[in-house]
């Protein structure tokens, strides 16, 4: 019933938009100067209110401004054939949601929803990069592992300023995605600003069909024994089950485990809880703080499969959301050593609520804290040991972060390339 109540609250304003247009279209238009005066009066009232007042939008919000603009477009716009009702309703709802200013709360059209579901299922087309809006900028969360974006050198936190010469400043995220997408084999030029640089650099990416393997695993032989390596590239529907299967397939004599969460942009919260539960016998995983009530604490399930094996978790700027929950919990529980670079810093929970016609609302409903009370949204997860990996090393296939993990697990020594952050050794 809880989901149904939320569904109704979202659905009703949308019905009001559609029915309001149908009813408004039945009465005769007034003169254009009257419309202009009405718009002026509305803006004056809005500007003079001075205070934010909590109201029931269905009873107290005056939507005549919306209908006035709609009628003006219908009456005056030079290309009336482009005034598609459904597109305009979607645009109005999208604008309503984006006005909140939360980049993670957004309205998704049926097409957006299909792309979202395709990404979680592991198959999509394009350049293979997760994008989001931060402070009005289109920011790369992470290039997907093995994707054209990764091969071309796109990095987490790159700010995309233009696509094929077209500025994306002020553009909606879905419109930017549309510009970047294209047929397999074609190329796209992305101008990005990286780090503290002021001048953009241009990265050419050849589009391709993208398949995201949820889990990749191997056994690494060292002079002192074998190490299990497992990369979790996303938290999809079956990712945790695949990871469990891969872990159980490791030889019994592996002396350590590397869990690679680099470029993992996250996914389902339950997946993070289940993952931590594989390695910890007890303790909290994350506390979820909603708008009302006490925090909801998620604890390990108490059925670990590898509760004591020495463990390193690799993270970088592309590790976000559920990846940060996992790394932060294992760090706070002193169950794993974290190696790599600072994670992305995405500390909020979203719920996807389905709407009629295949659209949906992705809405932020909470933020989360690690077991030690760290707010992941402020700075993310800080590694115990910072190890950088340059673009050139990516392109050559050199991996000093994985090398540092191997050295830590086999010798408990801190290589020269490492920088101690926490000052403590687990």
Annotated catalytic, 98? no
Cα distance between residue 330 and residue 275, in whole Å: 10
Angstrom distance (rounded) from CA 361 to CA 144: 25
| Sequence-ordered list of residues with C-beta below 8 angstroms from that of 267, at least 6 positions apart, any chain | 120, 234, 235, 236, 239, 321, 322
Helix, strand, coil percentages, rounded to 5, for the chain: 35, 25, 40
> Quick one: tokens of 166?
């077209």
Q: CA-CA-CA-CA torsion for 6, 377, 126, 160, nearest 10 degrees? A: 120
The residues facing 372 across adjacent strands are none
Pairing state between β 311-315 and 256-260: parallel
Distance CA 421, CA 426 (A): 13
Exactly one of 321, 323, 343, 360 is catalytic; name it. 321
Burial of 369 (0-12, 13-18, 19+ CB in 10 A): buried
Say how far apart CA 291 and CA 393 lie, in whole Å. 44
Q: Catalytic annotation on 419?
A: no
- Phi/psi for 316 (5° steps) reads -155, -170
Beta bridge partners of 130: 142
Catalytic residue among 239, 319, 323, 346: 346
346 is catalytic: yes
Considering 112, 208, 274, 332, which one is annotated as catalytic? 332
Residues assigned a catalytic role = 321, 332, 346
């Amino acid at each position: 019933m809880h989901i149904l109540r939320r569904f109704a609250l979202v659905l009703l304003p949308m019905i009001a938009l559609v029915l309001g247009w149908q009813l408004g279209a039945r009465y005769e238009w007034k003169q254009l100067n009257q419309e202009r005066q009405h718009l002026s009066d509305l803006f004056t009232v809005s500007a003079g209110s001075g205070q934010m007042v909590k109201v029931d939008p269905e009873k107290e919000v005056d939507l005549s401004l919306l209908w006035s603009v709609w009628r003006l477009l219908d009456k005056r716009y030079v290309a009336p054939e482009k005034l598609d009702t459904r597109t305009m309703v979607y645009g109005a709802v999208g604008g309503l949601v984006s006005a909140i200013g939360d980049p993670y709360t957004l309205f998704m059209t049926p097409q957006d929803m299909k792309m979202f579901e395709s990404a979680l299922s592991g198959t999509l087309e394009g350049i293979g990069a997760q994008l989001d809006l931060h402070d009005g900028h289109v920011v790369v969360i992470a290039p997907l592992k093995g994707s054209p974006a990764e091969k071309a050198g796109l990095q987490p936190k790159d700010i995309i300023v233009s696509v094929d010469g077209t500025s994306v400043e002020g553009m909606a995220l879905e419109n930017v995605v549309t510009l970047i997408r294209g047929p397999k084999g074609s190329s796209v030029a992305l101008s990005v600003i990286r780090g503290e640089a002021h001048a953009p650099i241009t990265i050419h990416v050849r589009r391709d069909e993208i398949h995201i393997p949820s889990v990749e695993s191997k056994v690494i032989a060292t002079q002192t024994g074998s190490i299990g390596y497992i990369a979790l590239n996303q938290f999809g529907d079956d990712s945790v089950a695949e990871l469990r299967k891969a872990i159980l397939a490791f030889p019994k004599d592996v002396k350590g485990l590397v869990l690679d969460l680099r470029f993992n942009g996250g996914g389902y919260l339950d997946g993070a809880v289940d993952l931590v539960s594989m390695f910890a016998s007890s303790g909290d995983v994350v506390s979820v703080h909603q708008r009302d009530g006490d925090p909801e604490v998620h604890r390990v399930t108490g059925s670990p499969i590898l509760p004591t094996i020495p463990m390193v978790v690799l993270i970088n700027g592309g590790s976000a959301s559920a990846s940060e929950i996992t790394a932060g919990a294992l760090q706070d529980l002193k169950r794993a050593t974290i190696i790599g670079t600072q994670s992305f810093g995405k500390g909020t929970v979203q719920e996807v609520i389905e709407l009629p016609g295949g659209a949906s609302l992705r809405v932020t409903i909470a933020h989360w804290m690690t077991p030690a009370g760290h707010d992941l949204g402020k700075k993310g997860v800080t590694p115990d040991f910072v190890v950088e990996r340059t673009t050139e090393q990516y392109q050559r296939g050199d991996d000093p972060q994985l090398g540092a993990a191997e050295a830590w697990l086999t010798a408990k020594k801190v290589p020269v390339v490492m920088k101690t952050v926490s000052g403590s050794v687990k």
